[in-house]
Amino acid sequence: MNNCNEEERKDCGCIHDILKKILLLQKQDFDNESYSGCDKPYLGPVCNSICYNTRPIQLYNCCTGAPWSFPYTVNNITGTSDVFRIESLDECCCTCRLLYLDTTTNQYVGTNEFATIDLNCCGAVRCLADTFIDLC
């Protein structure tokens, strides 16, 4: 799903570094330094919070500026989501779990569907409020 032409490709360092930090946070591998925003080294409002396991993100296409979005099916209901939970990083590729918003609880829910995104074609990352996702 790479819509960027070769001239528009760039080093994925900046976005990769942010996603790597988020991935470490979700694995509970953090220190107690004080940060805010995407670089905050813990999930939730305070660092001893154990009720958060996910920092939902949106990734934006570098060529169009549109958020990456993918279809999903849960309980025979199909939708499209542009909100993800980072699951792994491999050089300039990230594998993300698709999340959807449950309108009855206003909470994100994890699907068992994944997308691998080339970070060379991501122009921005947006971090959403930390949350708990049932990963079972």
Digit-coded pLDDT (tens) for 38-58: 766 666 666 555 678 899 999
CB 100 within 8 A of CB 108: yes
Task: Select from 119, 76, 78, 124 the least CA-distant residue to 98.
Answer: 78
Question: Which pLDDT does position 51 carry in this prediction?
Answer: 78
Evaluate whether residue 6 is within a structural domain.
Answer: no
Evaluate whether residue 63 is within a structural domain.
Answer: yes
Instruction: Decide if pLDDT at 121 tops 60.
Output: yes
Structural tokens at position 65:
């500026």
Half-sphere exposure of 58 (CA within 13 A, CB side): 16
CB 60 within 8 A of CB 82: no
Evaluate whether residue 135 is within a structural domain.
Answer: no
Evaluate whether residue 91 is within a structural domain.
Answer: yes
Evaluate whether residue 5 is within a structural domain.
Answer: no
Question: Which pLDDT does position 85 carry in this prediction?
Answer: 97
Evaluate whether residue 4 is within a structural domain.
Answer: no
Instruction: Decide if pLDDT at 93 tops 70.
Output: yes
Evaluate whether residue 136 is within a structural domain.
Answer: no
- Amino acid at the residue 17: D
Domain that holds residue 76: 11-127
Instruction: Decide if pLDDT at 34 tops 90.
Output: no
- CA pair distance 93, 2, nearest whole angstrom: 11
Beta bridge partners of 57: 84, 127
Domain count, the chain: 1
- CA pair distance 88, 81, nearest whole angstrom: 19
How many residues make up the chain in this entry?
A: 136
Q: Is pLDDT larger for residue 6 or for residue 58? A: 58
Evaluate whether residue 47 is within a structural domain.
Answer: yes
Burial code (b: 16+ CB inside 10 Å, e: under 16) for 69-81 equals bbebebeeeeeeb
